[in-house]
Structure 1
Amino acid sequence: MGRKQAFTKSELLDQTKKLLIEHGYEGFHLKLLSGNLVGARSTIYQYYANKEEIVAACMKRAMENVLQKASAIGETDCMEALQQLLTVYLEEADFHQLLGDAHKINKANSSAAANDIEFVDQAHTTLKKQLERLFVLAQQEGHLNTSIPLPVVIGVFFNLIDTPNMMNIPTPQWSKLLFQMWLGGAGRR
């Protein structure tokens, strides 16, 4: 007699995210996933047809979360908004790297996966426009050095996301520390 279904779609996606972070896209497979869930492997197929669909759905869910938090940030104080955005991005820092693997998903295998990856791509565009708008405003208001090209400023800002938190301080405090260093620089003038 087989094991009965004992996990929800949400639990499936939570475990998928955890395993993707631990093993990467190439190291993730359905046998690994089913071994980390309580329930029959066949239950996975009640939700998703293949690896591509599960991973794409996981990426979409993470991006929906980021997009929801980012769109809730008020933009009247551009510097506060940028600091809050950094916190949002740091909360998904581990998964941020995996979103770069979206191009590896074979969208021809599944229209559902193709739709989810299209959503991820569109969300990236939305987030990029928000950041560009805030950085331009910050430059116009004199918060940023105008002699440094905006793409450089934005690139360094994004690199903050990959900075290891070796002190293991809570994300909001880590975000403020990184933002302060980014804004002020690390050297004396």
Structure 2
Amino acid sequence: MMARESKFTKSDLYQATHHLLLQHGYAGFHFGLLAEKLNITRAALYKYFNNKDELITEYMAYEMERFLEELEKIGEYSRFEDQLDFLLRVILKYSDIHQILSMAFQIPKSKHAKVNQTLQQLEHQHEKMYALLNGFIHLGKKEKMLKPELPEHLLLGFIFNAVNIPNRSHVPEEEWKNLIKEFLCYGMFGKRCN
């Protein structure tokens, strides 16, 4: 029997990691599945990563950096409503990534320095994301589009959770974004509740 070819690109690796994390979650992900998906040996993976946490955290930091690079463009829009539109588009584009990034909380502190270092990097990236989003919230309150008494974390939580609702009806993406925006702006009631 011939050994399987052990060549793969970082893009192949990250794409397969992405797919398997969505399919199996953090607990179900292991190098055996990844090696099978890439048609390589497990030994080929261990040449680059000591364990799955090292790979997963590196992948998460990479995706978070891509998300932040795009999110930084929110400042190019001066009006809150335009920023909201932009933010919803970006979050929808990276909706799978948010699901994966939430798995970071399942990764335990490690005896491997590289994993802990990357977890720390992810924490800094999250802080940067919230700093950008707090500017968005402050603009909304300044323009009197958002209720001043609502805390930032509640408003951001509603936005992220609204975007994470599965589009089971397969509504076109732009229409889906507009439905989410309408819900966020006007709520679900046709008239005011008492």
For each residue in 1:33-76, what CA deviation from the matched residue of structure 2 results, as whole angstroms up to 9, or x when unmatched?
11111223222123222111111111112111111110123242
1:10-42 superposed Cα distances (whole Å, 9 cap, x missing partner): 211110111001100001011111111122322
**How far apart, in 1, do the equivalents of 2:159 and 2:148 lie?**
15
Secondary structure of 1:47's counterpart equals coil
Alignment counterpart, residue 177 of structure 1, candidates 165, 175, 179: 179
1:51 aligns with 2:17: no
Q: Find the counterpart in structure 2 of residue 41 from structure 1.
A: 42
Flag the 1:75–1:110 CA change in 2: closer, same or farther, 3 A.
farther
2:154 corresponds to 1:152:
yes
Gaps of 5+ in 2: none
Find out whether 1:105 has 2:107 as its counterpart.
yes
Please tell me the residue identity of whatever aligns with 1:111.
A
State the Cα distance separating 1:149 from its structure 2 match: 4.3
Q: Which residue of 2 aligns with 1:119?
A: 121
Residue 96 (structure 1) shift: 1.4
Paired position in structure 1 for 2:134? 132
Q: What is the CA–CA distance in structure 2 between the aligned matches of 1:6 and 1:172, rounded to whole Å?
A: 39
Aligned residues: 189
**Among candidates 83, 86, 96, match of residue 84 of structure 1:** 86
After superposing the two structures, state which structure 1 stretch, 47-56 or 19-28, moved more: 47-56
Task: Measure how far apart 1:150 and its partner are.
Answer: 4.1
Distance 2:64 2:9 in 1: 20
Structure 1: tracts of 5 or more residues without a match: none
| Helix, strand or coil at the partner of 1:72 | helix
1:146 Cα deviation from its structure 2 partner: 3.1
* CA displacement, residues 140-160 of structure 1 (integer Å, 9 cap, x when unaligned): 111123354444333322221
Partner of 2:7: 6
Q: Which amino acid aligns with 1:18?
A: H
Q: CA deviation at 1:172?
A: 3.8
Identity of aligned residues (%): 31
Amino acid at match of 1:163: I
Does the CA contact (< 8 Å) of 1:52 and 1:107 recur in 2?
A: no
